[in-house]
Structure 1
Amino acid sequence: MLPYLIAASPSLLFGTFSLILGRWQGDDRQKVFGIFAGAFLTALVATPFLGAKWSPQIVIISFISGVSAFIGIRDQTRCLRVLGVSRTMPISTGLQLVAASLAGVVLMGEWRGAGAMPVGLVAIAMLVAGVWLTSRREKGAEGDQLDWRLGARLLATSTVGLVGFLVIVQYFGISGRDAMLPQAVGYGLAALVLTSPRIMRDGDGRDTRWSRATIPFMVAGVLWAIAILVLMITSSMVGVATGFTLAQLGVILSTLGGIWWLGEHRTRRELIWTLAGLALVVAGAFVVGYAKSLDV
């Protein structure tokens, strides 16, 4: 039981991560730069204890994976501002699970075990239905006034980035221990360059990254990096499918916290749709995990 409880702990960190971004004040540049500064420092401290082994291929592929993580977190962070935490996170989680599952089937030959494909297709259907329900809004309500066109674009690009972060290293058979620091160099360098005022245009054009407002978001980056590290370690204890599935449970905390702690408004109908969609996304995550387990 203890390994499973530990394997579920990243979900609390991921859920808290998104709530911090929604709660604390700062512009997008400060949030993104702070996240990756904190994550880079965490990787730097943790790596000497991981027994990592590197080759030129591992370093290059992991670096590319880290840049992909930057794109994913940057656009997810921006989407939190555009759509809110309680709308972004269940949709984002569902889309990531669908995209990661399809990538596993196409690129890595997953779901080839007896019964895995039908179960996996049921899981995808549940996830798609959950995403649709979560994104529904009542005409004329507050949610109907949000910039859904921009939100949809950010959800698409963040999904590609975050799924790429995981799938790229899996495709080349690189362990999380070996990938962690080169990934950190990738997203750290991307954050340093791509959050500059010349490229990431927010506010009045001043470089706001080097201020006190950035420090709290470094805490969020530490939480994200620790969650990735714990997920990497516990996956070897409970299995990759189970560990990945349990890590998605943070969507419950972020969605409900966004509504009741951050005060993101829902009409009565929208609340019912959101809760039903959230239940489908969580259930779909477990069915995805079950489909993966059938490959063993």
Structure 2
Amino acid sequence: MNALLMLLPALGWGIMPPVVAKIGGKPANQIFGTAVGTLIASIGVFIAIRPQITWQSFVLAALAGAFWIVGQTGQYTGYKNVGVSQTMPVSTGLQLVGTSLIGVFIFGEWASSTEKIFGAIGVLLLIIGIWLTSVSDEVNAQVDNKVRVRTMIMLILTSAGYWVYNSIPKGLSTSGLAIFLPESVGMVIAVCLYLIFSHQLKTFKEPISWINIIGGLIFSFAAITYILSVGANGVNSAFVVSQVSVVLSTLLGIIWLREHKSRRELTYTMLGLVLIVAGAVVTTIF
């Protein structure tokens, strides 16, 4: 059962990027729809299980949700600028490094020497694999390279939001599905503030914003199973295996969204995906 919980978030998060990219709209439309869809799903979960949660945990979980908006807005901007198959490997790598270090140094995971050695090997394999999938031959125009560099810098800065989002649940006295509703409340509050301060109020009434609720429902499936997996498997194992989603999202970006890759790029991508799976297996088993 624990192994299944580790795989389900990868399925949800792997499908979500190409679906949201296919639906379209601006990043503001996408992040608003995703937040609202998540809130809808979380209300349904709350009604079904009626979890108990303290006010302190509610506030911290809402804060985690707000930080997720930071990371996800950066990712959606990446889809628009350089595509899903370029954004996801870089975003995944940044999340992986930050969250793994937090798990080790703050939560004391990988306590034994053996766990540390194999954990480090697994993470190294994942990082190399992710780097290989991001190799690009595009040198067509200087402006393209500038856009790519700006996008990479933006992803580095916004990935800090993911680190907080992925780590807070482990430190809460209340955990599991009890924190899903407050997380989604934090998401909606944060996205509303973002739209207000960025002067994008028309996003609230644009139809494409509401169609993007689909992305929020897919995210909810992944988030619920991730919350359960963190409790059962620990931050590092749950997070690392969930990032196998990059395999699915990258392939769908190439095949379904028809994002172009040269033969060399495709070769590096396939090799990188193999290393990602290998790294996740090594990290999880040992």
TM-score (norm 2): 0.89
- Residue pair 1:43, 1:181 contacting (<8 A) in 2 also: yes
Match of 1:260 among 241, 248, 255: 255
1:184 and 1:64 map into 2 onto residues whose CA distance is 10
5+ long unaligned stretches in structure 1: 292-296
Q: CA deviation at 1:243?
A: 4.6
1:173 and 1:93 map into 2 onto residues whose CA distance is 28
CA RMSD between the two structures: 2.4
Deviations 1:115-148, CA, capped at 9 Å, x for gaps? 0111122122212212322222225258993512
Q: CA deviation at 1:290?
A: 3.0
1:200 corresponding residue in structure 2: 198
Give matches, 1:86-125, under 5 Å: 86-125=85-124
Match of 1:225 among 193, 217, 220: 220
- Residue pair 1:42, 1:225 contacting (<8 A) in 2 also: yes
CA pair 35-14 structure 1, distance change in 2 beyond 3 A:
same
- Whose helix proportion is higher, 1 or 2? 2
1:239 corresponding residue in structure 2: 233
2:284 and 2:219 map into 1 onto residues whose CA distance is 22
Letter in 1 for 2:245: G
- Residue pair 1:94, 1:130 contacting (<8 A) in 2 also: no
What is the aligned-residue identity percentage? 27
CA pair 83-133 structure 1, distance change in 2 beyond 3 A:
same
5+ long unaligned stretches in structure 2: none
Letter in 2 for 1:287: V
Alignment size in residue pairs: 284
Deviations 1:209-240, CA, capped at 9 Å, x for gaps? 3122112210110110121112334566x634
Q: CA deviation at 1:36?
A: 0.3
1:212 aligns with 2:207: yes
- Residue pair 2:57, 2:173 contacting (<8 A) in 1 also: no
CA pair 173-284 structure 1, distance change in 2 beyond 3 A:
farther
DSSP 3-state at the match of 2:202? coil
2:166 corresponding residue in structure 1: 166
Q: CA deviation at 1:242?
A: 5.4
DSSP 3-state at the match of 2:203? coil
1:72 and 1:187 map into 2 onto residues whose CA distance is 11
Letter in 1 for 2:285: Y
Higher mean displacement: 173-182 or 265-274: 173-182
